[in-house]
Chain A
Amino acid sequence: MMDAIEIFVFGTAMGGIFALLASGFSLIFGVSRVLNFAHGVCFAISAYIAIFLVKEMAIDVYSASLVGIIFSILTGIIVYFLTKPIRNNIVMVIIVTLAFALLIEQILLLSFGNRGLTLKPFVEGIQVIYDNLRIARIRILAIFIAILVLILLEIFINRSLIGKRIKAVSQDSEASMLIGIDVEKVLIVTIGISSALAGIAGILYAQIFNIYPAIILRVLIYAFAVVILGGLGSFQGSILASFIIGYIFVTTMKTLGAQWSEFVMLLAIVGILIVKPTGFFGVKE
């Protein structure tokens, strides 16, 4: 019983963070067909900036996190401009975003070292949940923040004008252009929002766990697993898939050990590709 509750709570927190990360990745892909290998940079940069501000500038953790997320958005905009001239060349888009990710990884490595760093959590202390099961409060808060942000995003996409345009462009970019939607503008907004989501995910991750330069590429694995499971370009699909991957991840870690997590991810992906190649809600290419 205790194990089940533990897996549920830990897995939901993990899944919420994956959802913030992967839904953005999926949104960008849906709107622009860009596979953004630099998405992990947005995840890491917010946490690093926040850690730097809290430690060196003695700024409170809330403002520091806000500044961190702004940096994530800026990173997203940089990626937008880097990929703009070559967007039709799939190979080059992957190469440029990957090289950009490694460049930032290297800069972080040189300025912060390769050891993991943690960000001061929004809330300290532990919460007794059941019997003797104690869980750090920040983990519970992370679940609420992630779900709240995802609900807000869902409302934004379905209700606001720009949100509707995002939806339109991801369904049919050419037709949207014909009815007078400024596709480039929609794209910038999408990348901005997606990067902010990744930034929030990074902040929460760094408070519960730790952040290190190599995570920039490592989180991408989970993002890939999520988008393949949920279907490339599907927003709802990626959120559902995130939580499933979250539970798989935590269960694997608890039963087989952490070293199996990547392997299980790959098995899951290959399994899905064999059985249902387009994921839960995949759009046909």
Chain B
Amino acid sequence: MKNQILILLILFFVLILLPTFTPSAYLYLIGLSLIFAVIVVSWDLMVGYTGQVNLGHTAFVGIGAYVSAILQLPLRIGFFWEIHPMIAILFSGLFSALVGLGIGIVTLRLKGYYFSLVTAILPLVFMQKVFIWREVFGGEEGFSIPAEKIVFATTIEKYYFATFFMFISMLIMLYIVRSKIGLRFKAIRDSEELSESLGINTTLYKILAFFMSSFFAGIAGAVFVNYRLTVSPDLYDIPLMLLVILSAVIGGLGSLIGPLLMGIVVYLAKNWWLTALRWGMINEELVLYVILIAVAIIMPRGVYNEILERSRR
């Protein structure tokens, strides 16, 4: 466990030093990858620790993104009263968490597969909302926030903002899973019956995990929007969801730090290192899906956990 904090610290210092020798086009992408990695970790917080498969995590990313964008541009809903971007970001996290709470209450009291089935539908439903109330949400186009309404405008400032955001979120989440609550999450994952017989209110803890997971997803969505200045329905979409799953699974469910590192690597691979890849029909998405299937079958516990185990042997 100590090791996780150590890794996080090393990563943090590397990231702080990176701008001295990296061109800004790459820094921009690395910053995005950090925010993406927080989304991955927040998914792991629910799925890796309580064993409930949430297939609609991007719904909460999207909610956070839109809520924050609208709070920063309140004229879109007819208000003049503007909120400081930082408060808007925090509030969007809270809003996402409340939506998660509602959905959790309905679905998580049922055992089995209902939670996965319902969450799988969520992104599409929220995406529809964007099209139906087009004047507010901007439809397929989304809308952009003027640079003046954002805390940080230059690439380098945004990069550091993303770095600190990642660092603080990670610290909080690491603290949660190491606390008593985190232990109960794991107990539920390992055996729901046993946890119940030990007197743990499993439904309550599952809902709590979902609440926190949605909170970080929402905040990350809001930071994402403040980083790239445009909000659009792609933040809800299934490809993003799969990228999250891919990173977490390869990174190793239930370890937080594994998904974090893999989130950064996968995002950069997809949006940068592999973009030049065009051998005839094969593109980077095909490659990523094949890797995901192979890893899931060969190392169902994730690369991180698998290597951890082998190095112990």
Is A102 in the interface zone, CB < 8 Å from B?
yes
Size of the chain A interface, CB-CB below 8 angstroms: 42
Is B65 in the interface zone, CB < 8 Å from A?
no
Is B273 in the interface zone, CB < 8 Å from A?
no
Whether A86 and B296, one on each chain, are in contact in the complex, defined by CB atoms closer than 8 angstroms, is yes
Whether A91 and B253, one on each chain, are in contact in the complex, defined by CB atoms closer than 8 angstroms, is yes
Whether B118 and A270, one on each chain, are in contact in the complex, defined by CB atoms closer than 8 angstroms, is yes
Is A98 in the interface zone, CB < 8 Å from B?
yes
Q: Which of B112, B116, B121, B253 contacts A221 (CB 8 A)?
A: B121
Is B132 in the interface zone, CB < 8 Å from A?
yes
Q: Which of B114, B238, B300 contacts A92 (CB 8 A)?
A: B300
- Could you tell me the distance in whole angstroms from the C-beta of B201 to the nearest C-beta in chain A? 18
Whether B286 and A220, one on each chain, are in contact in the complex, defined by CB atoms closer than 8 angstroms, is no
Question: Bound state CA distance, A171 and B129, in angstroms?
Answer: 40
Whether B281 and A111, one on each chain, are in contact in the complex, defined by CB atoms closer than 8 angstroms, is yes
Whether A91 and B47, one on each chain, are in contact in the complex, defined by CB atoms closer than 8 angstroms, is yes
Whether B51 and A224, one on each chain, are in contact in the complex, defined by CB atoms closer than 8 angstroms, is no
- Could you tell me the distance in whole angstroms from the C-beta of A82 to the nearest C-beta in chain B? 7
Q: Mark B85-127, 1 if CB is under 8 A from A, else 0.
A: 0000000000000000000001100111110111011101100
Residues from chain A with Cβ under 8 Å of B129 in the complex: 263
Residues of B123-172 whose CB lies within 8 A of A: 124-125, 128-129, 131-132
- Could you tell me the distance in whole angstroms from the C-beta of A10 to the nearest C-beta in chain B? 21
- Identify which of B120, B129, B281 gathers the most chain A CB atoms within 10 Å of its CB: B120
Whether A285 and B111, one on each chain, are in contact in the complex, defined by CB atoms closer than 8 angstroms, is yes
Is A126 in the interface zone, CB < 8 Å from B?
no
Whether A99 and B106, one on each chain, are in contact in the complex, defined by CB atoms closer than 8 angstroms, is no
With contacts A35-B113, A224-B117, A224-B121 taken as known, whether A110 is within 8 angstroms of B281 at the C-beta atoms is yes
Q: Mark A233-271, 1 if CB is under 8 A from B, else 0.
A: 000000000000000000000000001101101100110
Q: Which B residue sits closest to A37, measured CB to CB?
A: B120
Whether A103 and B238, one on each chain, are in contact in the complex, defined by CB atoms closer than 8 angstroms, is no
Q: Which of A29, A227, A265, A270 contacts B106 (CB 8 A)?
A: A270
With contacts A91-B53, A221-B121, A232-B113 taken as known, whether A103 is within 8 angstroms of B300 at the C-beta atoms is no
- Could you tell me the distance in whole angstroms from the C-beta of B244 to the nearest C-beta in chain A? 11
Q: Which A residue sits closest to B125, measured CB to CB?
A: A266
With contacts A262-B128, A285-B112 taken as known, whether A103 is within 8 angstroms of B286 at the C-beta atoms is yes
Is B265 in the interface zone, CB < 8 Å from A?
no
- Could you tell me the distance in whole angstroms from the C-beta of A115 to the nearest C-beta in chain B? 17
Whether A96 and B53, one on each chain, are in contact in the complex, defined by CB atoms closer than 8 angstroms, is no
- Identify which of A89, A99, A259, A260 gathers the most chain B CB atoms within 10 Å of its CB: A99
- Could you tell me the distance in whole angstroms from the C-beta of A280 to the nearest C-beta in chain B? 15
- Identify which of B121, B128, B246, B290 gathers the most chain A CB atoms within 10 Å of its CB: B121
Whether A103 and B106, one on each chain, are in contact in the complex, defined by CB atoms closer than 8 angstroms, is no
Residues from chain A with Cβ under 8 Å of B117 in the complex: 35, 224, 227-228, 269
Q: Which A residue sits closest to B249, measured CB to CB?
A: A95
Residues from chain B with Cβ under 8 Å of A35 in the complex: 113, 116-117
Q: Which A residue sits closest to B291, measured CB to CB?
A: A99
Q: Which A residue sits closest to B132, measured CB to CB?
A: A259
Whether A99 and B289, one on each chain, are in contact in the complex, defined by CB atoms closer than 8 angstroms, is yes
Whether B114 and A95, one on each chain, are in contact in the complex, defined by CB atoms closer than 8 angstroms, is no
Whether A106 and B285, one on each chain, are in contact in the complex, defined by CB atoms closer than 8 angstroms, is yes
Whether A94 and B293, one on each chain, are in contact in the complex, defined by CB atoms closer than 8 angstroms, is no
Is A125 in the interface zone, CB < 8 Å from B?
no
With contacts A95-B249, A110-B281, A263-B125 taken as known, whether A273 is within 8 angstroms of B297 at the C-beta atoms is no
Whether A95 and B112, one on each chain, are in contact in the complex, defined by CB atoms closer than 8 angstroms, is no
Residues from chain A with Cβ under 8 Å of B120 in the complex: 220-221, 224
- Could you tell me the distance in whole angstroms from the C-beta of B200 to the nearest C-beta in chain A? 19
Residues from chain A with Cβ under 8 Å of B122 in the complex: 266
Residues from chain B with Cβ under 8 Å of A273 in the complex: 106-107, 110, 114, 118
Question: Bound state CA distance, A228 and B118, in angstroms?
Answer: 9
Q: Which of B53, B131, B292 contacts A90 (CB 8 A)?
A: B53
With contacts A86-B297, A221-B121, A270-B118 taken as known, whether A102 is within 8 angstroms of B289 at the C-beta atoms is yes
Q: Which 8 A-B pairs have the closest CB atoms?
A: A103-B289, A285-B112, A99-B292, A266-B125, A224-B117, A92-B300, A96-B296, A99-B293
Interchain Cβ contacts under 8 Å between A and B, 10 examples: A35-B117, A92-B296, A95-B296, A102-B238, A106-B285, A110-B286, A111-B281, A269-B118, A269-B121, A274-B106
In the complex, besides A95-B249, A217-B238, 20 extra interface pairs with C-beta distance below 8 angstroms are A35-B116, A82-B293, A96-B296, A99-B245, A99-B293, A102-B289, A106-B286, A110-B283, A218-B124, A224-B120, A224-B121, A228-B114, A228-B118, A259-B132, A263-B125, A265-B121, A273-B110, A273-B114, A274-B106, A285-B112
User: Which B residues contact A (CB, under 8 angstroms)?
Assistant: 47, 51, 53, 55, 106-107, 110-114, 116-118, 120-122, 124-125, 128-129, 131-132, 238-239, 242, 245-246, 249, 253, 281, 283, 285-286, 289-290, 292-293, 296-297, 300
User: Which A residues contact B (CB, under 8 angstroms)?
Assistant: 29, 35, 82, 85-86, 89-92, 94-96, 98-100, 102-103, 106-107, 110-111, 217-218, 220-221, 224-225, 227-228, 232, 259-260, 262-263, 265-266, 269-270, 273-274, 277, 285
